Amino acid sequence: MSENKAIPKGLKDEMVERGKVRRPPIPYVPPEGPIQESVEKISGTKNFKVTLPDGTVVYHKVYDGGSNEAFIIHVKEVIKLAERKNYFDYYEAAEHKKVQCVTQCNKAQKKSDNAIKDPTTTLDQRKVLEKSLELAIQAVMEAELHLLKRGKAFFGFYETMLGEGPRVRWTRIVDSQIGVMPWTDLQGVVNNVEREYSDVSFRDCVKFHLLTVFAMDAAEHQKYYISHSLKKPRKIPWRFFCDRIEQLNSYIPYLPGLIDSPQGANMKIATALDEPELAQLLLRLAPQSQQDQYELVKGIIPVNLRLTLDTLVTLEKTDIHVPKKAEAKATEQGNGNRKRKGATTGDQTTNKKGRSSKHCELCEKHGGAKNTHNTVDCKRYEKDGTQKKAFQSRKGTPGKTTDRKSYKTLNRELKETKSALKKAKKSSRKSTKRERENSSDDSNSS
């Protein structure tokens, strides 16, 4: 199996996440490795044959356990297969047919009641109306049976795609929701009206099934994780990183949200990030250098995901990143692997360990901290040795020293001053001794 370039081998959570974050429902790095391995490690290996209305045959794995992401992928694909088999369309058509039959039945009932009240209606007319009412009632019953059959279809299809363990949990959920009184919905409200097999009841049961694995705020948490907790590693190309972001974003509509909880009275449905939001997210996750270049090239807020991605891919090719260790090693190789201590090249020195150190020739010559920066980065002196205006403006500021010298320079100047004082003292002693000798000779001669 080929390696997933969006989740390369060895990728860790801290490489794609900003600091410590609350573990999301589905993280960027799957707990079991790349997403392909996570899906393939599902214990159930049985394939189920699905024939679509156009004759296409699709094989889908029966889910019998796996990671959180494998579970949501399974639910997502099963619902899409049910849509492709037109289960929900057939149910909607049967529901519409039942409404029509009920409407016709009500009209026939009204006509029959009016005929009974009207004394001018003949017996034959009443029989005709009663026969029409019987046919209308029979049509309603047939429509209800057909609707029940269509409703059970997607329940059965979903159950067929589950292994033994997940199927037990699914059956328990359906038995507690369908055909019983009372039953409790997702918001915790107790209902005393029997619930039927329907599109709405099916999706509620699926949410209950997902709640056996995910928290009730999984959708909101997943959206917050994508929007605020991710960062892009340099080792992952933009296109593969974007694919993974879109994949994580596609799970949000299927995850349980706070609207499906007892706290969901005033909540809104957690929707996936739309195209402008994804485009702006990619730009926000880009390095600062690429953001600056994008601003120069485009100058507008991104709203088109594909165009933004193409621009970032182009900028990624021109944005060459050299790690500090590699840069220091290249400098060492360029200057020679072995150099004597204190050897200089340009405005830099190389110490015993081969690491490049900073050195400013201007500050060494005219006074200043010479080992804190390079000559080209000197902010104090111009090339001719004169002080820069920006530096001179700080002179006279209370509480600040204008002559900033390094400790080594001050120590050297102190030693020179001490030596000069010592020499002056010696010279003074010699001159005093000479004067005494001269005065002594003068006294003896007299």
How many Å from the N-terminal Cα to the C-terminal Cα in the chain? 118
Instruction: Select from 32, 25, 60 the least CA-distant residue to 44.
Output: 60
Q: Angle at Cα 242 formed by Cα 219 and Cα 229, nearest 5°? A: 50
State the DSSP string of 370-397: TTSS-GGG-SSB-TTSPBPHHHHTTTT-
Encode pLDDT of 181-232 as tens digits: 899 999 889 999 999 999 999 999 999 999 999 999 999 999 999 999 999 9
Q: Are 226 and 281 in contact (CB under 8 A)?
A: yes
> The tokens 């039959």 sit on which residue?
101
Q: Which residues pair with 61 in a beta bridge?
A: 47
Instruction: Select from 340, 369, 345 the least CA-distant residue to 356.
Output: 345
How far is residue 52's CA from residue 68's CA, in Å, rounded to a whole number? 28
Q: What phi and psi values does residue 393 have, to the nearest 5 degrees?
A: -65, -20
- In this prediction the pTM is 0.65
Residue 272 DSSP class? P
By percentage, how much of the chain surpasses pLDDT 70? Answer: 82
Mean pLDDT of the residues in the chain:
82
pLDDT score recorded for residue 369: 82
Give, for all 446 residues of the chain, the pLDDT tens digit.
345 778 888 888 888 998 888 899 999 998 864 444 444 444 445 788 888 888 888 888 889 888 899 999 999 999 999 999 999 999 999 999 999 999 999 998 888 888 888 888 788 888 888 889 899 999 999 999 999 999 999 999 999 999 888 899 999 999 999 999 899 999 889 999 999 999 999 999 999 999 999 999 999 999 999 999 999 988 899 999 999 999 999 999 999 999 988 887 788 889 999 999 999 999 999 988 888 888 888 888 999 999 999 999 998 888 655 455 555 555 555 555 444 444 444 444 445 444 457 888 888 888 888 888 888 888 888 888 888 877 754 444 444 444 556 677 888 888 888 888 888 888 887 777 776 766 665 555 55
Q: Which residues pair with 59 in a beta bridge?
A: 49
Q: Are 356 and 332 in contact (CB under 8 A)?
A: yes
Helices assigned H by DSSP within 118-163: 123-160
- For the record, the structure tokens of 208 come out as 């209950």
pLDDT score recorded for residue 69: 92
Instruction: Select from 99, 109, 106 the least CA-distant residue to 143.
Output: 99
pLDDT score recorded for residue 32: 63
How far is residue 142's CA from residue 105's CA, in Å, rounded to a whole number? 13
